[in-house]
Amino acid sequence: MRFVEWVMLAAPSHAKAPVASVKSLTTWKMASSRFRGLHIYLTCAVVVFFVATNAETNAKKNTNVQELAISSVDRLAHTIHVPNHAQLSATPVSRSARGDVSTQNVRPLVECHVQGFHATKNVSISCHVDTLAHLTCRLCANDNTLDAVVDLIMHMTLRELEDDNSLDSMTITLSCGHVFTVETLDGITHLGDFYSRDDVTGRWANAITPETHGESRTRPVCPTCRGDITALRYGRISKASNLAIMQHNISSKLSTSLARAEKNLSKALESLDASIVSSVNDCEPYAQPAPGSKEASKDKLDILLQKNPKCPTPPLALENLTEYHAIPSSHNAVWRNATKNILTPYRQAYQVSTNRDSTVQTYEATLATLFREELDHFLRTPNRIPADVEQVALRLARMRIGQPPPRASLRFAVEAFWMTIRILIALAEAAVQASKTVRSRDSTTNNCTPWLKVAEFLFERAVNDSQVALDVAEGSESWNKAAKCQVIAMKARYELAAYQCRTAIEYGTLTGTKQAALSSLCGRSYADDVALRKRVVENDLARWGLGERASRMQWLQTNFMSPTAPILESWQELKRSVDNGSWYSTVTREENLSVMRALMEGRDRLSHTGHFYECVNGHPYVIGECGGAMQQSRCPECGAPVGGSNHQSAAGNTHSRRFLELAREQQVQESPWGWGPRGR
């Protein structure tokens, strides 16, 4: 059995006289044996034969194809001229070609309908092809099509276009049937985001990876009917828009989860301090763990933390203090009861941070494969290996993918980290408050040990998780979030150091060696943060063009420089506290004024300047009613005696000069009592 095949060679001009179809048909299946160029299969004939037609020129003479091919032949029968106009359009290939056909200098024309198919295997045949895309013929189109506006830039119709082989005269017929110029569709689809132009010819030259800058890319649609643009020319754009829609759906889901967690967190923070104080009051005295239990718990904790080093601290490490911190079960029950509300949003945020969409894994696997291929290519040509071969190979691999990495889940993972770090610090402060409550009740430090241990662990995990969040933000190239992660990391490092210094001062463990070490830590941290602020700004501005740096610097000033300036001041104040051996947390004048105004309002408001005192370590407190001390207690900050008896203050307690000056500035009346701060 032999087969019928129609071979269309090059067709640079319009074929005005197509080939007549064969009259006698059968139902035989057609296939091809050998081919060069573009093959278009027709219908089957009664007698199977090969016919090749050269359509480089218009048909001028009548040649009856059926008479010339009345029997089977073993070789190609070339017919130079064709009889008359073809009445039927060419039928597409019924299956994919068995091989890759290299096409060069492909010119989209406007005369016929030709559909392309993908090849599956490599072949050695290379040929130049003038392919006719799925386009509309201006000679055959009806008046409605000819009068339709196809150039939205110049507002020209199909009838008015000039045939000069330029992008503003070539047209593409979309799958919906509407026709537009290539230049118009290039603009609608933002083709310039995906390809670069040749500086000399102005033609599209190379594929580039589009820059998203966080915006959502929508699917390109027909300007007339809003149907999808699926032309092969815009394949990359369509794929990018589909990926963007997937990323948008992921973002919407994760955003909803984070909003729910934030709402639960706000409610939990309101009652955290009261809950921890009431729960700790019922706590049993602390007993040292059994020998070996500390080491076993530490090993379990290390294994738990190493399971997912790129994720926040696992919730189990925060709620099961007995297994992972060797804390007595009675203390663990108190802790879980006090923190159960705040651990709910922590689990929700943790779930968001561990959520990774499938496209991330696919992208990373593809990138790794292409990266190895590029490295192998350089190894085969050792005389052309660049100095930074890995960086070059990675850049080439990303260019071959042609799409930016999916980042939606990673960006929301960073925001989830922010929430978990905030909760870690809140839990650490709650543990510190628990230790203060126990100390004021028992006047001993032994029962404070488990809470101090938990607090230090939580502060350390906040520092660790802030660095992991920074790595995730930089890995996803979310530079705004990376700058904010730097702020959070600086705050976390300060909170850990402040806790260590405060504990050493308040619990009397600030020996000469430890005092020198903590003072040196504060000095180094201050210098490191000063250098870090400068480095972050320089590196960030280097990613932006000269025209954008002014606005970028303004953003950095608001979101990075201003929030980190108080941290530098806090480091200096912390160093002074360590050097002096007394703890005092810096409070701004505005904060002190707000506190004083609040105390001066309401039914039980303070009425004169004699209500404000300080303990021996400078921590402020107030005495109500007449302002004279009638009972003694302990400072919640340092445990020093406060108050007094018979209107006499305890030793070392004095009126607070700061609040006294603020009260007088606000024209608060002087104390009428003899124990008031007269003349001070």
DSSP 135-155: ---TTT--HHHHTSEEETTTT
Q: Which residue has the higher pLDDT, 48 or 541?
A: 541
* Identity of residue 326: A
pLDDT tens for each residue of 57-92 = 444 445 554 554 444 445 554 555 544 444 444 444
CA atoms of 470 and 492, how far apart (whole Å)? 13
Residue 247: is it exposed, middle or buried by C-beta count within 10 angstroms (0-12/13-18/19+)? Answer: buried
Paired tokens of 299: 């090993």
pLDDT value at residue 418: 93
What is the residue whose two structure tokens read 């301090």?
273
- Residue 22's pLDDT is 39
Q: Looking at residue 490, what is its pLDDT? A: 95
The DSSP letter of residue 281 is T
The 10s digit of each residue's pLDDT in 218-254 is 778 888 888 888 888 888 788 777 777 787 788 788 8
pLDDT confidence bin for 293, thresholds 50/70/90: confident
Coil, strand or helix: which one is 174? coil
Indicate the pLDDT class of residue 165, thresholds 50, 70 and 90: low
Q: Average of pLDDT values for 362-366? A: 83
The highest-confidence range among 7-16, 162-171, 363-372, by mean pLDDT, is: 363-372
pLDDT in tens, 645-661: 887 888 778 877 777 77
Please spell the DSSP secondary structure of 512-550, one letter per residue. Answer: HHHHHHHHHHHHHHHHHHHHHHHHHHHHHHHTS-GGGHH
In sequence order, what E strands does 459-513 have? Answer: none
Residue 285's pLDDT band, with cuts at 50, 70 and 90, is confident
Helix (H, G, I), strand (E, B) or coil at 376: helix
Residue 345 has pLDDT above 60, yes or no: yes
d(CA 144, CA 216): 36
Nearest-angstrom CA–CA distance, 25 and 447: 100
pLDDT one-digit tens code per residue, 422-472? 999 999 998 988 888 888 777 667 788 888 999 999 999 999 999 999 998
DSSP letter for each residue of 96-124: --SSEEEEES----SS---------SEEE
Buried b (16+ CB within 10 A) or exposed e, 347-385: ebbbebbebebebbeebeeebeebbeebbeebeeeeeee
Mean pLDDT along residues 360-375: 85
Phi and psi at residue 654, to the nearest 5°: -140, 170
Question: What three-state secondary structure class fits 371?
Answer: helix
Q: Report pLDDT digits (tens) over 114-154.
A: 333 333 334 444 444 444 445 566 666 677 777 778 778 77
What percent of the chain clears pLDDT 90, i.e. is strictly above it?
A: 17
